[in-house]
Amino acid sequence: MATTDNIFSFVAAEAITEFAAVSVNADGKIIITDASTDDSCVGIAQRACSAGDSVEVVIDGVTRAIAGDAIAPETTSLLMAEPNGKLIPLVLGSGNFAIARILPNINHHSPADGDQIKVVFTGPNYTGA
C-alpha cells in the first residue's frame, strides 16, 4: 500500500488515465509515458484527470498499473512502459528502461492487455544499449 511519503501531486499537461505511467515534460508537468526509452518517467498516476488538474502519483513503491500485453510473471518480472502509459515485459537493449517489477498473486497470475496489475515502481533503470 502506498504511503504519503511516496505519493506526490503533479499538474497534468494532458488528460491522464488511471494507473498510467507518467513522465515529466519540459514545463515540469506530467504527461503519459509513451516510450520504453523515456528516462523521465516519475511514477504511476493514481486516478484519471484532465489537463490542468492536480493528480497524485506514486513515485516509489507498490501501486496498481495497467498491463499493455500478456505478462507471464513466472518468466518475466521486470516491466517497461509502452504507449498509453501501460506496462509490458522488459525487452533488453535498444535503450529500454525497466521502471517496475510485477507482484503476481494466486488470483491473477496471467494478466492480459488492459488488466490492472500490482507492481513495485522503481523508476527508470537502464538495461543497456
Q: What is the pLDDT of residue 110?
A: 83
Determine the average pLDDT of the residues in 14-37. 97
Mean pLDDT, the chain, integer: 92
Q: What is the pLDDT of residue 108?
A: 67
- Domain-wise residue ranges, the chain: 4-59, 63-126
Nearest to 99 by CA among 119, 125, 74, 76: 125
CA distance 81 to 87: 5
The class that CATH gives domain 4-59 is: mainly beta
pLDDT in tens, 74-128: 888 899 999 899 999 999 878 999 999 999 877 767 898 999 999 999 999 987 6
3 or 124, which is more confident? 124
